Amino acid sequence: MSANRHALAIDIGGTFTDIVVYDAQTGRFAAHKELTTPSDPAQGVITGIARLLSREGVQAATVGRVVHATTLFTNALIERRGAHTGLIATEGFRDTLEIGHERKYELYDLHLPLPQPLVRRAHRLEARERLAPDGTVETPLDAGSVLRAADALVAQGVESVAICFLHAYANPSHEQEAVRLIAARHPQLVLSLSSEVAPQIREFERSSTTVANAYVKPLAERYLNRLSQDLTSLGITAPLFMMLSNGGLTHVEEAKRVPVQLLESGPAAGALAAAFFGARSGQNDLLAFDLGGTTAKLALVQDGEPHVVHRFEAGRERRFTAGSGLPLTISTVELIEIGAGGGSIAAHDALGLLKVGPRSAGSTPGPACYGRGGTHPTVTDANLLLGFLDADTFAGGTMRLDTSAAEATVGALAAEAGLGMARASEGIHAVVNETMAAAARVHVAEQGHDPRDFTLLVTGGGGPLHGCELARRLGMTQVICPPGAGVASALGLLLAPARVDRAATISRPLAGMDWSALEASFSAMEQEARSVIAATLGATAALGMRRSADLRFAGQGYEVVTELPAGPYGPQSEGAIRTAFEAAYERIFSRRPGVATIEMINIRVSVTGSAAEGALDPEVPETAPGEPRTGARRVRFGSAEMEAPVLDRSRLPAGTEVLGPAIIEEAMSTLLVPPGARAVVEASGNIVIHLPQAATRQGQRHHEVA
């Protein structure tokens, strides 16, 4: 049997760890859900892999590729469980993290909670040195001050140090010398340089990103080393690749060097999966909706590609408010995360109003119906009591749900409000749906779009269960549910190319540009990116390259990321670059100021690589023999209770039409088809749900009133 026949994908979520094994010879894949083990995430991964390989009869030696995404590092930032971290900054700049932008994200809030720096002030020390904005040395580096700062931090128990000197993006020599000095004196320290992590202008963002990298770097090194060893102990010797926030892959050593690039790796994989399966149904403009046990993720896919941005905020004090989190200059698929999932806890607030989330029962103890000690009513408990879920086949039969436990917790909530249990369950379901719909409206509107112009593609264990109701509230007409929807994010890992994004600050006017220097800067970044791709996939990888730049009109304090024509650049390139920027600017703002001077602040390259054997191309699952209808359940849609047939998705041949209400079950998810809707099984393997026109008009009226 071929040593490279199979590929493994691992996606660790807040509640479940999803594992997919893909057979490159047959195009078939199989999946398994394992409860996440928060205290030791690698344990759940290894247990799940062993169970999946044993169940499918796959030998570990035939696995030729392992791809991994995890929320571990994001959670460490949010929950402040990272390494004991220190910062060495230029003399006079130790408080950059505290000062930030000196502006409030809510102008009139007198009790505004601000994101606290990851490094205490006592652990933010200074070194004597100074560079000018162009990188020339104003004050030489004082080696003694660097070593005194490092000694003091070690004495305080610091294990990871961020080094962020003023204008190091223009000249990294002082940071590099500081690293050499500290590594020689304290080789046990883990070091992060701003000139490597975020070599871009703007001191606060650069410092914040470098500190965040230092904060999770020891954790990343320990976890990835442990996981690599555990995979080897299973007999898997294949290379381990990590998913990046930008929707690409990299090798383990690069991931350990700059782990801040991995913060949104799981959601990025989900957006890639949405783009892939949407294209199979001829839909390239999608709202990708992934609902798991802890969070829901929403991302726009346009022209078949998720939108990648170069700024991200972690740990927002207020989830939907820009400026309330820690700014990070990393490339990431643009999306919004909502504190709503199967484990979201329902409770009455001080005014007696029902709220669902963002608190979650997670995987430990989990919803009450998991039978693992949960005592709070959750979305999954409500869905079980509404008849949407089968207690015996939940999560592919990996666990049996406890209906009596769900009744006890939801019943207690109902008693508080003087309601019946059915009404309380219905309320939980409705509130969480509206929470997600409200977030979707904001996210889509911020991108300048109308949700009615998109198709909703649902993934995750809960996406197919809530998708049609979400679409109705948004006024959308069509929902796509791909095969294996419950583990689509894990499958998306196997779809991802290797990708490297690099950026550098040049800060020069476009007119009078030194074109040979500009071309040399782009070429240098592309060469560095090529070397990372080669280390990931080998020298035979097929490469794709894109160049872009952050451009602005002179006098502005913000830039527009503009895709540039391919190089090499010379004086003849000025017109094309100007035209590209002006078009991008007008697309966003509908007009442009009467300013002729354009400035190029940052330059960017994105290099992607595909393995020689080509991209993943999963086969459409074969139709299993047998009667599709396996039974019927009493379910509640709004205030109406009715009987809905239960269908086995694996037994539905292409061309089958299903009229709602209906429940379509597969191993890892349940698709809920509401009354009046029509679901069609496509030859692509997708199920497309067409919502009734009356629902669309309701959504339109809601949109117009809002």
Give yes or no for a contact between 165 and 94, defined as CB atoms under 8 angstroms apart: no
Q: Does the N-terminal peptide bond of residue 497 adopt cis geometry, omega within 30 degrees of 0?
A: no
Amino acid, single-letter form, for residue 187: P
> Which residues is 631 bridged to in the sheet?
646
Confidence at residue 105, expressed as pLDDT on a 0 to 100 scale: 85
Amino acid, single-letter form, for residue 478: Q
Share of the chain above pLDDT 70, in %: 96
Q: Tell me, rounded to whole angstroms, the distance of Cα 494 from its chain centroid.
A: 15
Confidence at residue 699, expressed as pLDDT on a 0 to 100 scale: 43
Backbone angles phi, psi at 248, to 5 degrees: -120, 175
Closest by CA position to 478, among listed 506, 452, 509, 496: 452
Confidence at residue 296, expressed as pLDDT on a 0 to 100 scale: 86
The model's pLDDT over 197-218, given as tens digits with 9 standing for 90+, comes to 999 999 999 999 999 999 999 9
DSSP for 261-289?
GGTTHHHHHHHHHHHHHHHHTT--SEEEE
The model's pLDDT over 495-532, given as tens digits with 9 standing for 90+, comes to 888 899 999 999 999 999 999 999 999 999 999 999 99
Confidence at residue 616, expressed as pLDDT on a 0 to 100 scale: 62
Closest by CA position to 432, among listed 342, 349, 362, 365: 342
The model's pLDDT over 4-42, given as tens digits with 9 standing for 90+, comes to 789 999 998 877 888 999 888 888 888 888 888 888 888
pLDDT-derived band at 476 (thresholds 50, 70, 90) equals very high
Confidence at residue 319, expressed as pLDDT on a 0 to 100 scale: 66
CA 285/CA 275 separation, integer angstroms: 8
Q: Which residue has the higher pLDDT, 704 or 316?
A: 316
Confidence at residue 88, expressed as pLDDT on a 0 to 100 scale: 98
Q: Residue 106: pLDDT above 90? A: no
Q: Residue 700: pLDDT above 50? A: no
CA 643/CA 387 separation, integer angstroms: 10
Confidence at residue 701, expressed as pLDDT on a 0 to 100 scale: 41
Domain boundaries, the chain: 6-77+222-262, 78-221, 345-430, 498-610
Residue 357 Ramachandran class (φ > 0 left, ψ -120 to 50 alpha, else beta)? left
Q: Which residue has the higher pLDDT, 617 or 52?
A: 52
| Collapsed DSSP state (helix, strand, coil) of residue 12 | strand
Architecture of domain 498-610: 2-Layer Sandwich (3.30)
Average pLDDT over residues 87-111: 90
Query: For 177-239, what is the HEC assignment?
Result: HHHHHHHHHCCCCEEEEHHHHCCCCCHHHHHHHHHHHHHHHHHHHHHHHHHHHHHHHCCCCCC
Average pLDDT over residues 237-256: 91
Where is average pLDDT lowest: 44-53, 62-71, 313-322, 362-371? 313-322
Average pLDDT over residues 146-162: 97
Average pLDDT over residues 681-692: 93
CA 135/CA 702 separation, integer angstroms: 55
Confidence at residue 587, expressed as pLDDT on a 0 to 100 scale: 85
Q: Residue 702: pLDDT above 70? A: no
Average pLDDT over residues 346-351: 90
Average pLDDT over residues 533-561: 91
CA 72/CA 26 separation, integer angstroms: 33
Q: Residue 436: pLDDT above 50? A: yes
Per-residue tokens: 191: 């070091």
Which residues of 315-353 form beta strands (DSSP E)? Answer: 326-328, 332-333, 335-338, 344-348
Which residues of 361-477 form beta strands (DSSP E)? Answer: 455-459
Where is average pLDDT lowest: 387-391, 437-441, 590-594? 590-594
Confidence at residue 112, expressed as pLDDT on a 0 to 100 scale: 86
Q: Which residue has the higher pLDDT, 112 or 706?
A: 112
CA 659/CA 418 separation, integer angstroms: 35
Burial of 649 (0-12, 13-18, 19+ CB in 10 A): buried
| Collapsed DSSP state (helix, strand, coil) of residue 614 | coil
pLDDT-derived band at 693 (thresholds 50, 70, 90) equals low
Q: Residue 84: pLDDT above 70? A: yes
CA 142/CA 145 separation, integer angstroms: 6
Mean pLDDT of the chain: 90
The model's pLDDT over 298-309, given as tens digits with 9 standing for 90+, comes to 999 999 989 888
CA 41/CA 35 separation, integer angstroms: 10
Burial of 549 (0-12, 13-18, 19+ CB in 10 A): buried
Average pLDDT over residues 211-238: 94
Where is average pLDDT lowest: 374-388, 587-601, 670-684? 587-601
Architecture of domain 6-77+222-262: 2-Layer Sandwich (3.30)
- CATH of 78-221 among 3.40.50, 3.30.70, 3.40.190, 2.40.10: 3.40.50
How many other CB atoms are there within 10 angstroms of residue 563's CB atom? 13
How wide is the angle at C-alpha 495 spanned by C-alphas 37 and 604, nearest 5°? Answer: 100
pLDDT-derived band at 318 (thresholds 50, 70, 90) equals confident
Per-residue tokens: 57: 């009869």
Write 57-62 long-range contacts (CB < 8 A, 24+).
58/6, 58/21, 59/1, 59/235, 60/234, 60/235, 60/236, 61/1, 61/3, 61/235, 61/237, 62/1, 62/2, 62/3, 62/4, 62/5, 62/6
Q: Which residue has the higher pLDDT, 539 or 691?
A: 691
Confidence at residue 133, expressed as pLDDT on a 0 to 100 scale: 93
CA 425/CA 642 separation, integer angstroms: 15
pLDDT-derived band at 221 (thresholds 50, 70, 90) equals very high
Q: Which of the listed ranges 109-123, 139-153, 574-588 does the model predict with the highest average pLDDT?
A: 139-153
Share of the chain above pLDDT 90, in %: 64
Average pLDDT over residues 560-586: 93
Confidence at residue 411, expressed as pLDDT on a 0 to 100 scale: 94
Confidence at residue 615, expressed as pLDDT on a 0 to 100 scale: 55
pLDDT-derived band at 706 (thresholds 50, 70, 90) equals very low
Quote the pTM value.
0.85
